[in-house]
Amino acid sequence: MAKIKANPGDFIVEELIDIPFADNGAYTILKLEKKYWNTLDVIDFVARKTNTRKNLFARAGLKDRYSQSTQYLSFKGNFRHAVNEKNFTLIPVGKCKTAITPAMLRGNAFCITVRDLTEKESEAVRHNAVEVVDHGFPNYFDDQRFGSARHGRGFIARQLLLEHYQGALKMLMCYAYKEDSTREKRFKQYCLSHWRDWTGCLRIAPTFYRPILKYLCANPKDYKNALKKIDRELLNLYLLAYQSHIFNETLARLIKEYGVDNVDVRYSVGQFVFYRRLTDLGAARKMRIPMVNEKTRLSGPAGKMIERVVAQEGIALKEMGLGRMRLRGVRFRSFLRHAVVFPESFTVSTPEPDRVYARKYQCQVKCTLPPGTYATILVKRLLLC
Using one digit for the tens of pLDDT, what is the confidence trace for 157-174?
Answer: 999 999 999 999 999 999
φ, ψ dihedrals at 341, nearest 5°: -125, 140
pLDDT value, residue 363: 97
Q: Please, which residues have CB within 8 angstroms of residue 309's CB and are 6 or more apart in sequence?
A: 246, 249, 250, 253
Q: What is the DSSP string of 154-185?
A: --HHHHHHTT-HHHHHHHHHT---TTS-HHHH
pLDDT value, residue 103: 94
54-95 tens-digit pLDDT: 999 999 999 988 899 999 999 999 999 999 999 999 999 999
- Per DSSP, helices labelled H in 136-259 are 156-161, 165-173, 182-193, 198-203, 210-218, 223-227, 232-258
Alpha carbon of 226 to those of 50, 154, 172, 241, 323: distances in Å? 29, 20, 12, 21, 16
pLDDT value, residue 323: 85
pLDDT value, residue 324: 82
Q: Which of 129, 137, 33, 37 minimizes the C-alpha distance to 366?
A: 129
Q: Is the pLDDT of residue 310 over 90?
A: yes
| Whole-angstrom distance, CA of residue 65 vs CA of residue 289 | 27
pLDDT value, residue 1: 83
pLDDT value, residue 191: 97
Long-range contacts: 350-355, Cβ < 8 Å, 24+?
350/126, 351/117, 351/122, 351/125, 351/126, 354/115, 354/116, 354/117
| Whole-angstrom distance, CA of residue 42 vs CA of residue 38 | 7
Q: Quick count: other Cβ atoms within 10 Å of Cβ 290?
A: 21
pLDDT value, residue 128: 97
Read off the pLDDT band of 328 (50, 70, 90).
confident
pLDDT value, residue 60: 96
With residues binned 3-state (H G I as helix, E B as strand, rest as coil), the percentages for the chain, rounded to 5, are 40, 25, 35
Q: Is the pLDDT of residue 42 over 90?
A: yes
CA terminus-to-terminus distance, the chain: 12
What domains can you pick out in the chain, each with its CATH number? 20-99 (3.30.70.3160), 152-230 (1.10.1510.30)
pLDDT value, residue 327: 83
Q: Which of 4, 344, 275, 301 minimizes the C-alpha distance to 131?
A: 275
pLDDT value, residue 356: 94
pLDDT value, residue 193: 97
